[in-house]
A and B are shown apart, each in its own frame.
Chain A
Amino acid sequence: MTARVIAIAHKEAREFLRDPIYLGLAFIAPVVLMLLFGYGLTMDVKHLPIVFLDHDRTAYSRDYMDSFLHSEYFTPLGVAPNRKAANKLMRSGQARLVIDIPPDFTRLLSKQKPVQIGVTIDGSFPSRAQVMVGYVNGINRLYNSRLLSNYLSGLAHSGPVQAMPVNVNFSVWYNPSLESKNFIVPGMQVIVLMLFPAILGALLIVREREAGTIFNLIASPARRWEILAGKAVPYIFVAFLNYLITFAMSIFLFKVRFIGSFLFLSSAALLYSTCTIGIGLVFSVISRSQLVAMLVTFLATITPAFNYSGFIAPVASQDRVGQFVAHLIPATYFMDMVRGSYLKGLGFAFYWQDLVALAVYAIVIYALALIFFRKRID
């Protein structure tokens, strides 16, 4: 019985090796994706093009504008001559932020009165808009606290107010430098090991069905599970090789901090690859054509992997639909383990439950494939 599994695996591996373009692409495409995202993806919201409308034109208003330019968050596009010009820059996407300083800015401030300024933020990218709101509030608060301390020092009984009642001391763990590559590169490994193996698996059975060669397998003495196992094993091996390549890239090329156990991460990756090949396999078994299998696999993997696995935002922040999808895909469990391995140095002892969860996932997914796979001609 294992002999039959080995025979089918052997045949499958041969077919794979004899299509050098397919073979090459299966290894090149993940590397390209890692390179692109590793070097190109910046989550940092910086260098936002900002435009000012200065109706006041005094040293005060310039001082206020300067407070926006001391950081690397904003890149000045200059002072717009009028509202219309500023709107045009915003509409074309050249400016993301317009700050409108009213004509009585200096007059009101020198009379110790509050003054309103208008800030318009481009809401095209909601997540960035929210960050921009935070930046503006932060910079404005700094400016106000400067005004406040100037004001208080001008008062007689200012002594005790110099200090704020509550001071927060921040410390950052796991990724002290807050470098985004430390979460993007390991996260990309999870994504890559979901997208590519799923597609490899998706073509396994339906390809033979479309070509008609499935009859050879149906007519053979091999049992259903032997056929599925024999077909999946070589590709699990390919996915695992992809893991080793991307792991080496993360360490040697991207120089991501890795303080965990390689043995732990590798065993998790092996289980995870088994799951992702299995997801493809299920779609392959139920699909009538390769086109259907590919369509379903793309739909079932791309969006959930990027949006719901915790790649960019914590799973806890998602709403109910999001949480539900997150727990349906193995990427969410593996993402925890990958980040924990790389940045927190946690291993078997901490994550044994997640490992068990992945193992259960694998069993369920292959059981599904087995249930839907009929050795029958229809």
Chain B
Amino acid sequence: MWVRLGAMLRKEFNQLLHDYWILFILIYAFTGAIYVAGHAISMEIKNYPIAVLDFSQSSESRDLVARLQPPFFKLVTYARSDAALVKLLDSGKASLGLVIPPDFARQVQENRGKCQVISDGTLSMSATIAMAHVAQIAADYGIQMLEQQGQLTRTMLAQIPQVDARIRVAYNPNITSSWFTSLLELMNIITMISMLLSASAMVREKVYGTIEQLQVSPLHPAELFAAKIIPATVVILMLSVLSLFGVVKGIFNTPLHGSLFLFFTVTAIYILSIASLGIAIAVIAKNIAQVAMMMLLIMYPMLFLSGAFTPPESMAPWMHWASLLSPMRYYMDFGFQVLYKGNGIADVWYDVVGIVVIGSLLFTFSVWRFRQSIR
């Protein structure tokens, strides 16, 4: 068995490593693509574009506007008229419009200052957060005004019973999104490449007709599949090491807390598991075009159910159950727990079990289905 597997492995390694284009693209996938993705922000508010229509032109109105600052807000422009503001909002150049009425200064002195915020609700989540920020800024400004007017003295302010919430964000103190997005992209890339490499290595034999030679050879289907899976696993694992140290940690300075040995061991198991999924696809598909479409049909739901888009606690029950079928869900949970939180195997053993069980089922299915096709 080892001789047969060895011979087949040598052929597969040769095929993979002699395609310089593929190697080049794989290296890009594990470095450049992750670098690009690390720059993405998801929905936190940064440089939220605002436009101001200031009829008051007073020091009070300028004070308020000056508080709408980066990193949250970016003042795009002052609008000159209602119509101009509407145009800015329509075009999406501004997502939030602040209208300050002519008698704002006097109103503020009389504690009844009113201004109008028009929010573009298209991106509802960002809009909600942005409005909350504006409300907070207006309130802070108000308190400062009271203080200036002497209605609240410093001693009074010091005496106000107040709850001071000292917020500490665990695992990511400054909420650096690249720590998350770069690691997430690495996991996405591992998933995509493992599936694609193994599926294409397998279906290629079908397209060229060489599958029949393999079928009549003494190779057991399990040996054949192992020979298809192992080279991809080795290459992807090496590239993951490069990527984790070179980009995720090297460029984005993501702190890696847990046991790296544990992380890479389970990553190897995960790649084997996803590669088995690729083999299962290839056993069913007749050509590469079908593989492509089946991959899309399986991969996108997997990415979606991984918990990165919608965390487990926010999933509807049907999504929760569906996500249990996706090996990626376990891997994602495992990866973030180990690397972010420094958790050990005692905390993540069920993730490992999930990955192993699903991978084994897929592998067994492929062997069974492949044998059926011979008969």
Contact = CB atoms under 8 A, between A and B. Distances in A.
Interface residues of A, number: 128
Interface string A220-260: 00000000000000000000000000000000000000000
Interface stretch (A39-47, A267-275, A367-375): A39-47
B260 interface: no
A163 B111 contact: yes
A167 B136 contact: no
Contacts of B136: 137-138, 141
A219 interface: no
B218 interface: no
Contacts of A312: 42-43, 123, 125
Contacts of B180: 124-127
B160 A176 contact: no
Interface residues of B, number: 125
A360 interface: no
B278 to A, nearest CB: 12
Interface stretch (B219-227, B264-272, B289-297): B289-297
A172 interface: yes
Decide if the interface of chain B is mainly helix, strand, loop or mixed: helix
B227 to A, nearest CB: 17
Nearest to B121: A175
A3 interface: no
Interface in B37-51: 37, 39-49
Contacts of B175: 123, 126, 129-130, 133
A348 interface: no
B22 A343 contact: no
B99 to A, nearest CB: 9
B139 interface: yes
Given A170-B117, A175-B122, A316-B49, A160 B151 contact: yes
Interface of B: 19, 21-22, 25-26, 28-29, 33, 36-37, 39-49, 64, 74, 89-92, 95, 108-109, 111-129, 131-136, 138-139, 141-142, 145-146, 151-152, 159-173, 175-177, 179-181, 185, 188, 192-193, 196-197, 200, 204, 207, 285-290, 292-294, 296-297, 300-301, 304-305, 308-316, 319, 333, 336-337, 340-341, 343, 347
Interface of A: 19, 21-22, 25-26, 28-29, 32-33, 36-37, 39-49, 64, 75, 90-93, 96, 108-110, 112-131, 133-134, 136-138, 140-141, 143-144, 147-148, 151, 160-161, 163-180, 182-183, 195-196, 199, 202-203, 207, 210-211, 287-292, 294-296, 298-299, 302-304, 307-308, 310, 312-314, 316-319, 321-322, 325, 336, 339-340, 343-344, 346, 350
A-B interface, 10 closest residue pairs, ranked by CB to CB distance from nearest: A123-B172, A175-B121, A25-B293, A307-B40, A172-B121, A178-B124, A321-B39, A43-B125, A127-B42, A123-B169
